[in-house]
């Protein structure tokens, strides 16, 4: 009986340690973020107000990868991926720019949004994928900058 009491007390003492261990999903995200940092990608978690017309609600905050634009770039645009390969602007009009579509075609299916302003190219990604997805994101950001 004494052995069971000691085992129970040890289990109660050690059980909070199991809560501190990251889950597989958290470990995979940490590995992707470390690899992104090694590649030189700038990333932050940013809150987003997603459009109501998206078929599924992306996470908020969402992983935001960004890159400065070249001097003289003045075009501004924003496209959301509703389905893999289907890119729409805020008025739900499909993207018709062939240069953008060529770059968007290389991106993973769980990239939610790509936008450009006068200073930055920003990409919002669901962080589910492989290192090859990070390479595709890096290549897209470089091509669009």
Q: For residues 96 and 122, is the Cβ–Cβ distance under 8 A? A: no
Domain ranges of the chain: 22-144
**Residue 12 clears pLDDT 90, i.e. is over it:** no
Q: Indicate the SS3 state at residue 111.
A: strand
Rounded Cα gap, residues 102 and 31, in angstroms: 28
pLDDT band at 64 (very low <50, low <70, confident <90, very high): very high
Average pLDDT, the chain: 88
pLDDT band at 118 (very low <50, low <70, confident <90, very high): confident
pLDDT value of position 100:
92
**Rounded (to 5) percent helix, strand, coil in the chain:** 40, 25, 35
For residue 121, whether the previous peptide bond is cis, meaning omega lies within 30 degrees of 0, is no
92-108 pLDDT, tens digit each: 999 999 999 999 999 99
**pTM score, two decimals?**
0.82
How many of the other CB atoms lie within 10 Å of CB of 123?
23
């Amino acid at each position: 009986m004494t052995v069971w009491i000691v085992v129970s007390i040890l289990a109660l003492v050690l059980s909070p340690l199991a809560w501190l261990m990251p889950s597989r999903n958290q470990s995979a995200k940490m590995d992707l973020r470390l690899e992104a940092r090694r590649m030189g990608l700038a990333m932050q978690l940013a809150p987003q107000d997603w459009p109501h017309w998206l078929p599924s609600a992306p996470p908020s905050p969402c992983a935001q990868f960004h890159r400065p634009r070249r001097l003289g770039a003045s075009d501004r645009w924003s496209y959301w991926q509703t389905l893999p390969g289907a890119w729409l602007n805020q008025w739900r009009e499909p993207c018709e720019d062939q240069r953008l579509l060529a770059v968007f075609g290389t991106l993973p299916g769980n990239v939610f949004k790509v936008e450009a302003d006068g200073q930055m190219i920003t990409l919002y990604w669901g962080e589910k994928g492989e290192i090859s997805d990070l390479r595709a994101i890096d290549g897209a950001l470089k091509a669009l900058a």
